[in-house]
Amino acid sequence: MLGLMGQGMLKTCAIFILTLIGSIPFGMVVCRLRKSSFAPVRYITKFYISVMRGTPLMLQLLVWYFAPYYLFRMNIADWRFPAIIVGFVMNYAAYFAEIYRGGVDSMPVGQYEAAEILGYSKMQTFFKIIMPQVAKRVLPAVTNETITLVKDTSLAFTLAYQELFSVTKQVAATGTSMVPFAVAALFYYVANYVVAFVMEKIEKKLDYYK
């Protein structure tokens, strides 16, 4: 039992880590496009965010997995795990982008004016001046989304991927025992506790006003 659940935990951790690696920086790019002065780019980005936030992640995973077959007749035998990562990254990037946008919009106009006087381009202003300050403001919201991600990894069962949640159901059904559910609950709790602990340390480190 523990061996199977251990493998499931590793796969769950892989989904979590790869999603963060992809969605946090991609969310910054989406945020920048969302605030673009070029209207078509801005509207397309708003539509993308609206779709990602307005439809269930479970449905999005199904679309990412089956769309290549229905559209291009692609062999999707080895596409399951990549489809899961793409689906999670695209979904969470939209949420992170809106969190970043809220932080960016809260910045005083004087920051932009000072950067312009110093000769910074809009891109330099955004990534070198605005984003470092925004990071501190949005960290609590990012923490909440990261904790949600730990639990959302269980949605990978939609594509019959053997992560922790799927394995737990199978082991519990085979052994007619509640122990696997308790082990899974403990794993999710500990994982979320670690995330909250690490984020709290980062938040204190960024609390430079003190």
Angle between helices 2-34 and 131-152 (to 10 degrees): 140
Cα–chain center distance at 159? 18
- Give the fold, CATH level 3, of 2-206: MetI-like fold (1.10.3720)
Positive or negative, the CA dihedral 53, 56, 61, 64 is: negative
pLDDT of residue 203: 83
pLDDT of residue 2: 67
pTM higher than 0.85 for the full model?
A: yes
3-state secondary structure of 161: coil
Q: Is the pLDDT of residue 194 over 70?
A: yes
Domain-wise residue ranges, the chain: 2-206
pLDDT tens, 96-133?
999 999 988 888 888 888 888 888 887 888 778 887 88
Q: Is the pLDDT of residue 209 over 80?
A: no
